[in-house]
Amino acid sequence: NVSVVLFTSDLRLHDHPPLRAALDAAREVVPLFVRDRAVDGAGFAVPNRLAFLADCLRDLDAGLRERGGRLVVRSGDVVEEVCRVACETAAGEVHLSADVSGYAQRREERLRRTLAAQGVRLHVHEAVTTAVAPGTVTPAASDHFAVFTPYFRHWSRQRLRDALGAPRTVRVPDGVGSAGLPSHRGVSVGLASGGETEGRRRLSAWLRGGIADYADRHDDLAGDATSRLSPHLHFGTLSPVELVHRARATGGPGAEAFVRQLAWRDFHRQVLAARPDAAYADYRTRHDRWRTEDTAREEVEAWREGRTGYPVVDAAMRQLRHEGWMHNRGRLLTASFLAKTLYIDWRVGARHFLQLLVDGDVANNQLNWQWVAGTGTDTRPNRVLNPVAQAKRYDPDGAYVRRWVPELAGIEGPVVHEPWKLRGRDRAAVGYPEPVVDLSVGLGRFRRARGLG
Ligand code: FAD
């Protein structure tokens, strides 16, 4: 007998409950990945993530081959392909990880219906792409938490399942046709490599060397002292359950602060699972009459290209383009700059991030954007981050700005964060743009728009 495992955002062999269940249930297993036409069609398949995905699939295939199996790759409509494979192999069951987006929920529903008509059972496994499954902890009067602190209190008390090891052998039935493994190039030259092997290597290095200082250093822009595990969590080459266990085992304030960030990831997922429309529609309507790409074209372009004239904003936007990744502090202050200081629709910024981020993720990206824009779950929706104050606090020596904005590399001292204060010839010599907006003008516009006087 045969079972099918559909790999989606869980491209790993360690701690993979659907794979374990499929191996327990059947003598032979088809590990299947479908390059889904609908995901391509939605514009979500962008070069940086496709390149990372190609690494993940290659590594998954290699891991399966070491165990006597292989990865079966198909492309087309995901439901049709799964049903086709189940039919070709006379499989009795299909195993899948639960996921949160509206798209994933519709996929699961269609799969359930179509497979049932074929007499095949669909098993959906929870807590594979999250540490705590959405809906496990809820407040008294709602199906999800809208505020992080009480969510985190409940989340922390949950007993997580044990993490599973990787299987020793995987036997795949003969003759199942597979397309070749895809190969892609990203658009960012400094893009990280993907795959479970690389993810586990990074995780071990992080637990040995980085996590201890995380509480003190995670906001240090130039120090780059965060885990950079986000693309591995997005593609599921690392398991959130395993990460929480292993971080907790190292102990200390760094591990505690890191686990809290993993809870933020689950938090946004439980919001999106309950409110799939929050990927695009305001979670809380504030009656904003945003400026748009049409009405603020030049400012949008300056922001995207990292030439707003605010060095820390430009540094972060250029890091995004170069690496396909941006430091969390950079994401916060560039998003606040677009949505609040320029008062441009957060969706314009979220779309640009999703074009480039290797960890670009519907739940984390859209809901963090909403959090910053004050349309989301933030308890301080009208806070505006001042990019100069942020720069002085989180890049006190200016090293981050000098690294990413070469025009300013030769500027010594704190004036690197305020190059408009340079005098005459010095100012002209740096060849760096004037600010696109005066901060007090931006702040006034925002406060008026939100009716704050
Ligand atoms: P670490 O600091 O090492 O944190 C560990 C993990 O915790 C991360 O890998 C991530 O999975 C999770 N995490 C950390 N911060 C957050 C957070 N605020 N919300 C949810 N989860 C978090 N993260 C994404 O994974 N994909 C996105 O598309 C994304 N877009 C964002 C957009 C904006 C405007 C903002 C403000 C944040 C966004 N984040 C996103 C959250 C956060 O910035 C990144 O997860 C983090 O910078 C990734 O780097 P790291 O792995 O070194 O993080």
Atom of ligand 1 nearest to the CA of 206: 3
Probe residue for ligand 1, chosen from 347, 368, 377, 385 as the CB with the greatest number of ligand atoms within 8 Å: 368
The pLDDT confidence band at residue 44, using thresholds 50, 70 and 90, is confident
ipTM of the complex: 0.99
Q: What is the mean pLDDT of residues 290-311?
A: 97
- Token pair 């004037």 in the structure block, residue: 434
What pLDDT, on a 0 to 100 scale, did the predictor assign at position 429? 78
Residue labelled with tokens 């079972």 = 3
In this predicted structure, what is the pLDDT of residue 453? Answer: 76
Which pLDDT score, from 0 to 100, does residue 379 have?
Answer: 87
The yes-or-no verdict on residue 43 having pLDDT over 80 is: no
Average pLDDT over residues 147-174: 97
Mean pLDDT throughout 36-52?
Answer: 87
Asked whether the predicted pLDDT for residue 177 surpasses 90, the reply is yes
pLDDT tens, position by position, 197-224: 999 999 999 999 999 999 999 999 999 9
CA gap 92, 26 in Å, rounded? 9
Per-residue pLDDT tens over the stretch 57-93 = 999 999 999 999 999 999 999 999 999 999 999 999 9
Q: Average pLDDT in the 14-29 region?
A: 97
pLDDT of residue 109 exceeding 80: yes
- Known binding site for FAD: residues? 214, 226-230, 258, 359-361
Task: State mean pLDDT over 352-377.
Answer: 96
Residue 39: the pLDDT is 81
Residue in 187, 128, 130 with CA at minimum distance from that of residue 358: 187
CATH 1.10.579.10, the chain: domain bounds: 297-449
pLDDT at 427 over 90: no
Say how far apart CA 385 and CA 442 lie, in whole Å: 11
Pocket of ligand 1 (CB under 6 A): 218, 226-230, 233-234, 261-262, 264-265, 268, 328, 331-332, 335, 353, 357, 359-361, 364-365, 368-369, 372
Residue to substitute in 202, 328, 357 for testing ligand 1 pocket (most ligand atoms within 8 angstroms of CB): 328
Residue nearest atom 3 in ligand 1 by C-alpha distance: 227
Structure tokens at 302: 């300056």
> Ligand 1 atom 15: the closest Cα is on which residue?
261
Residues 130-160+196-274, CATH architecture: Alpha Horseshoe (1.25)
pLDDT at 41 over 80: no
Among candidate residues 378, 353, 366, the one with its CA nearest the CA of residue 284:
378
pLDDT at residue 425 above 80? no
Q: How far is the CA of 359 from the centre of ligand 1 (A)?
A: 8
- Mean of pLDDT values over 379-397: 97
CA distances from 1 to 93, 124, 445 (A): 10, 19, 66
Band (236; pLDDT cuts 50, 70, 90)? very high
d(CA 322, CA 27): 46
In the chain, CATH 3.40.50.620 sits at: 2-127
297-449 CATH pick, 1.10.579.10, 1.10.150.170, 2.120.10.80, 3.30.230.10: 1.10.579.10
Tell me, in angstroms, the distance from the centre of ligand 1 to residue 234's CA.
10
Q: With contact defined as beta carbons under 8 Å apart, do 353 and 370 qualify? A: no
Q: Is 380 left (phi over 0), alpha (psi -120 to 50) or beta?
A: beta
Q: How far is the CA of 360 from the centre of ligand 1 (A)?
A: 9
Q: Which pTM does this prediction carry? A: 0.97
Centre of ligand 1 from the C-alpha of residue 228, in Å: 9
Determine the pLDDT at residue 380.
92
Annotation: CATH topology of 2-127: Rossmann fold (3.40.50)
Mean pLDDT across the chain? 96
